[in-house]
Structure 1
Amino acid sequence: MNDSSQKKIMDSFIKLMERESENDEEKQWLMQKSSHDTITDMIKGMTTLMLHVLDGIGRFEPVNGITISRQLNIPKGSVSKITRKLMAKKLIRAEFLPNNKKEVLYHTTLLGQELFNLHQELHKEMEKNFGQFLQKYSESELLVISAFLQDLAGTTFVTLEK
């Protein structure tokens, strides 16, 4: 591969990462599809990670923070911060087990369940559109793309000194 091709791939990769980090399309879609003004206002102040933690609670409830942390591959401390914010927004509630004051199980509230369902619709829409997008590639091209993405996901391009 020549330097020009490598530069084009690197530039495309950087554009993709920048687009992903500042992409509000998902939040815009959720706000457009919401029939509840309270939820629309809440979405504006939520991060993507908050939506994913709510989604994890909705999928696995009743669920504890450790399970959410493992399922979403995020630190337990982040889950604790986010669940406090979601409780403040009245999207989830915490249940303490009677014999164990440390164990907390999270449940969605009616409002949280509504946003969870809306988020599930978004993911169905994305899966459908992604499937349509992939149809322009042959099976052999998809195998190469898949291998590339798996390698990319397991690689870092930053070397830290020990």
Structure 2
Amino acid sequence: MDKRQQLMSELMDLCNEIIWLNKPELESALDGYTLSEIELIENISLIPNANVTKLAAASYMTRGAISKLTKKLIAKNIIESYQNAENKKEIYFRLTTNGQKINNVHQELHRTFLERDKEVFKNMTDDDFNTIFRFIGRYRQHLKNITV
């Protein structure tokens, strides 16, 4: 196996291990919500004037899938839709109070996982982080160029 294959294999294994380890805690704390719904809630909290197009791009989902998920979350009173006075055509989404509570639980889980894993990061230098960020950035740009 060459180094490229080994790196990709290790990255995939790492991602799968993290998901496998975190999944039970996520499912317990956020019972009744799918991982796609939780991701959408998080993206709505982060993206100003979140609409279907922005959410689809951020979630790597189709606009149709986002439309279905937003309808489910509106029915659960987790998000609400709104329109800006300047643009009555476009529909945007924001979290309700219930949605913000769910997002807060999710963000607290992220903090818990970072605390659990702090040992891995404690000896990393800025150069170590920057090398990894550069690699990920180059790889993501490469993938975007392929799909454009």
TM-score normalised by L of structure 1: 0.61
Residue 24 of structure 2: aligned partner: 28
Letter in 2 for 1:103: E
Residue 15 (str. 1) matches residue 13 (str. 2): yes
Q: Sequence identity, in percent?
A: 22
Deviation at 1:100, TM superposition (A): 6.5
Greater displacement, 82-91 / 129-138 = 129-138
Equivalent residues of 2:80, 2:95 under 8 A apart: yes
Q: Which whole-Å CA distance do the structure 2 matches of 1:96 and 1:13 have between them?
A: 41
TM superposition shift of 1:94 = 2.5
* Offset, 1:83: 0.7
Q: Which amino acid aligns with 1:15?
A: D
Paired residue type of 1:9:
L
Question: Deviation string for 1:71-99 (max 9, x for gaps)?
Answer: x2644333222211212333222235689
Quote the Cα distance in structure 2 between the aligned partners of 1:67 and 1:11: 31
Quick one: distance in 2 between partners of 1:26 and 1:69? 24
Give structure 1 stretches of 5+ with no counterpart. Answer: none
User: Are the structure 2 counterparts of residues 61 and 89 from structure 1 closer, same or farther at C-alpha, using a change threshold of 3 Å?
Assistant: farther
8 A Cα contact 2:40 2:59, kept in partner: no
Distance in 1, matches of 2:142 and 2:114, equals 25
Match of 2:64 in 1: 77
Query: Which residue among 58, 61, 64 is the counterpart of 2:51?
Result: 64
Aligned counterparts of 2:137 and 2:117: Cα–Cα separation in 1: 17
Structure 2 unaligned residues grouped into runs of 5+: none
Shift of 1:67: 4.2
TM-score scaled to structure 2, two decimals? 0.65
What is the rounded CA distance, in whole Å, between the counterparts of 1:97 and 1:137 in structure 2?
45
Letter in 2 for 1:23: I
The SS at the match of 1:103 is: strand
1:54 Cα deviation (Å)?
0.9
Alpha carbons of structure 1 residues 131 and 77: separation in structure 2 relative to 1, 3 Å: farther
Deviates most, 75-84 or 97-106? 97-106
CA distance in 1, matches of 2:90, 2:37: 21
1:41-83 CA-to-partner distances (Å, cap 9, x unmatched) read x13xx13x3212111223457643344345x264433322221
Tell me the equivalent position of 2:42.
55
What residue is the counterpart of 2:107 in the other structure? 120
Q: Tell me the number of residue pairs that the alignment of Structure 1 and Structure 2 aligns.
A: 144
Q: Does the alignment pair 1:136 with 2:132?
A: no
AA partner of residue 7 (structure 2): I
Distance across 2 between alignment mates of 1:88 and 1:31: 20
